[in-house]
Amino acid sequence: MNKILVLRLGHRIERDKRVSTHVGLVARAFNADGIIYSGEFDNNLINSIKKVIEKWGGPFLVSYTPDWKREIKNLRDKGFVIIHLTMYGINLPDVIDSIKSEFFDKKKNLVVVVGSEKVPRDLYEIADYNVAIGNQPHSEIAALAVFLDWLFEGKELLKTFNNAKIRIIPSARGKKVVVKNSKSSNT
């Protein structure tokens, strides 16, 4: 089965703590297979995603690269298609069919790159697709969520994880959760 990795560039320990964590959580919840962080190495960030995987299930890869350019080149050599999310790119509705064809028909792996503060110029050249989620500035979390949602056409919202210790039973009111090896609880 072909895969989708997210590459999060330029993590800054102090400023990006929550945003980088949320990029990882969205990647996992919206059906990507893993996240690679670049920028400042941050053990707390990696551990916080791993704790979610331990409790809510996987598999989901979490790793760090000190050299984003080398990482992208390695992935490209392995056949990954490089998709850079940027407000300067071609708008999503105009390019989603080509990307769907790469993923679903040609069975190519994708790497979806999101930036933080300043994205290096080279990336625009290296990318196979520079994709805008609207041509207005907003957020890497939102951009990633919308991209994955368009790719999977909402089916990612029904994703389940087999090895989860905890699972939510959707309910109209209240909170219903099942904890592995225990009965369901209502709170």
Give yes or no for residue 121 binding ligand SAM (CB under 6 A): no
- CA dihedral sign of residues 68, 74, 75, 77: positive
Region near ligand SAM per CB under 6 A, out of 33-41, 47-55, 68-76, 131-139: 131-139
DSSP helix/strand/coil, 8 = strand
Which H or E run includes 141? helix 140-152
Backbone angles phi, psi at 95, to 5 degrees: -130, -10
Site string for ligand SAM, 44-83 (x = CB under 6 A): ----------------------------------------
Question: For ligand SAM, which stretch binds (CB under 6 A), given 28-36, 48-56, 84-92, 155-163?
Answer: 84-92
Characterize the bridge pairing of strands 166-168 and 4-11. unpaired
Residues binding ligand SAM (CB under 6 A): 85-87, 114-116, 118-119, 132-134, 136-140, 143
